[in-house]
């Protein structure tokens, strides 16, 4: 950054004061040498301000400073790195994820790095975080997970467009997806989970569905129904006593004969079902498909379950009668799934075994 031209009185005063500084240095030498001589290593440059005006970068080697006249600032030219702390971002498809980044940079122009930005590290970190946020808001979760290298290269170019004016160049950006806090709203996980729960409901109830519906086949998983997800469905007048029986107990009876080592090797997961009864108490059931032939029973599993499904008994009955769609119940919070949705999808294997 070039200095503004000086007037002749200013140049005269500058030259006179510099001469007096050299004279003082010679008179007090070698004592003044301990303070005036500075060693600059190869990986550094020294920016010297003489009477407030910047000079050409000094170093490497020995640099002479005039006492009371010169001030200086060291600039490290080595590659440095910092981490953008993980922050919560929403992708284009509505997913919420925790994303961070690792950034490596170096200074290529010491004068610009001193003259243009006061706190270079903070400014670069904020620029990287803003660029990462803007880039990820425009992309769906699947693209973020599959094309992290391409997104990192794009971030590298965008950050350099800003930081080159500061005398700084970013050499490498590595995007790090820490966790997916909320699945995308329009991802395939939603419909597949919906299909799995619907099929599971059909098998749990058995032939009770046709008796309730009067023999009319229920709509398939791909059929859209307009059902209120806010108010609970009204009870049907013709519903038989089969729905009054413990639904989950029928689930255990239906699943037990179909457990096998082949099913365990295919699923390798443990599920816990928490059913809230009308009295307010909660009943826990488990399906452990991690060892042996698998186990199913009342209570909690011995280990930590991979997926926990929680819902009210009335909502479970509404699911079985197709009065409440599973995906709608899940999105409205009436059906809570804690754990990995990919593991929850493995319930498809259990349903196939029941066929």
Long-range CB contacts for residues 47-51, cutoff 8 Å, separation at least 24: 47/72, 47/73, 47/74, 47/75, 47/110, 47/111, 47/114, 48/72, 49/73, 50/18, 51/14, 51/17, 51/18
DSSP label at residue 243: G
Average pLDDT over residues 79-97: 87
> pLDDT of 256-294, one tens digit each?
777 888 888 888 888 888 888 777 788 888 888 888 888
Helix and strand numbers, DSSP H then E, in the chain: 14, 13
Confidence at residue 325, expressed as pLDDT on a 0 to 100 scale: 60
Query: Residue 217 — very low, low, confident or very high, per pLDDT cuts 50/70/90?
Result: very low
Cβ burial, residue 30 (10 Å; 0-12/13-18/19+): exposed
DSSP lists the bridge partners of residue 297 as: 286
Burial of residue 54 (CB within 10 Å: 0-12, 13-18, 19+) is middle
Q: Which CATH superfamily is domain 79-182 in?
A: Band 7 domain (3.30.479.30)
- Looking at residue 156, its pLDDT comes to 93
Question: Are 45 and 110 spatial neighbours (Cβ–Cβ below 8 Å)?
Answer: yes
Cα within 13 Å of Cα(27), Cβ side:
7
CB–CB of 199/218 below 8 Å? no
What sign has the CA pseudo-torsion 230, 234, 236, 241?
A: positive
The CATH number of domain 248-353, selected from 3.40.50.2000, 3.75.10.10, 3.40.50.150, 3.30.1050.10: 3.30.1050.10
Residues 172-183 have a mean pLDDT of 86
pLDDT value for 167: 93
Strands 269-276, 307-312: pairing kind: parallel
Mean of all residue pLDDT scores within the chain: 76
Is residue 154 a contact partner of residue 135, using CB atoms and an 8 Å limit?
yes
pLDDT digits (tens, 9 = 90+) for 2-45: 555 667 777 788 778 878 878 888 888 877 777 788 899 999 99
Directed axis angle between helix 189-205 and helix 247-255, to 10°?
Answer: 90
pLDDT for res 327: 57
Whether the pLDDT of residue 162 is over 80: the answer is: yes
User: Has residue 103 got a pLDDT over 90?
Assistant: yes
User: How far is the C-alpha of 20 from the C-alpha of 26, rounded, in Å?
Assistant: 10
Span between the terminal Cα atoms of the chain, in Å: 77
Q: Which residues contact 146 (CB under 8 A, 6 or more apart)?
A: none
Rounded (5°) CA angle 283-288-292 = 150
Helical (H) or strand (E) element with 196: helix 189-205
- DSSP H helices, 41-140, are 110-115, 120-137
The residue written with tokens 């910092």 in the block is 82
Answer yes or no: same fold for 79-182 and 248-353.
Answer: no
**SS3 label, residue 262:** helix
pLDDT over 50 at 215, yes or no: no
Q: State the pLDDT confidence band at 182, using cuts at 50, 70 and 90.
A: confident
- The domain locations on the chain are 9-76, 79-182, 248-353
Q: Where is pLDDT greater, at 216 or 124? A: 124
């Amino acid at each position: 950054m070039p200095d503004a031209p000086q007037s002749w009185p200013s140049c005269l005063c500058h030259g006179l004061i510099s001469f007096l500084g050299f004279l003082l240095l010679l008179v007090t030498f070698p004592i003044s040498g301990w303070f005036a001589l500075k060693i600059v290593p190869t990986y550094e440059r020294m920016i010297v301000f003489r009477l407030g005006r910047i000079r050409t970068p000094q170093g490497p080697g020995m640099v002479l400073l005039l006492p009371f006249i010169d001030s200086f600032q060291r600039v490290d030219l080595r590659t440095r790195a910092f981490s953008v702390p993980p922050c919560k971002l929403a992708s284009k498809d509505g997913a919420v994820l925790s994303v961070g980044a690792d950034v490596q940079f170096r200074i290529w122009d010491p004068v610009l790095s001193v003259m243009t930005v006061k706190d270079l590290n903070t400014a670069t970190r904020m620029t990287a975080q803003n660029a990462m946020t803007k880039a990820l808001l425009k992309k769906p979760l699947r693209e973020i997970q599959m094309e992290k290298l391409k997104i990192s290269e794009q971030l590298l170019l965008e950050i350099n467009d800003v930081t080159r004016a500061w005398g700084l160049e970013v050499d490498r950006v590595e995007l790090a997806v820490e966790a997916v806090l909320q699945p995308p709203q329009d991802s395939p996980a939603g419909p597949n989970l919906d299909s799995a729960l619907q099929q599971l409901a059909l098998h749990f109830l058995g032939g009770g569905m046709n008796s309730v519906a009067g023999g009319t086949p229920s709509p398939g998983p791909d059929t859209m129904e307009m059902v209120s997800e806010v108010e609970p469905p009204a009870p049907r007048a013709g519903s038989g006593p089969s729905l009054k029986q413990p639904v989950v107990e029928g689930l255990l009876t239906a699943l037990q004969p179909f457990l096998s080592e082949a099913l365990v090797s295919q699923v390798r997961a443990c599920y816990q079902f928490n059913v809230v009864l009308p009295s307010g108490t909660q009943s826990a059931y488990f399906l452990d498909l991690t060892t042996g032939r698998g186990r199913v029973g009342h209570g909690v599993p011995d280990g930590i379950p991979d997926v926990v499904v929680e819902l009210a008994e009335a909502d479970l009955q509404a699911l079985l009668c197709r009065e409440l769609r599973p995906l709608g119940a899940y999105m409205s919070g009436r059906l809570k799934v804690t754990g990995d949705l990919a593991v929850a999808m493995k319930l498809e294997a259990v349903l196939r075994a029941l066929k």
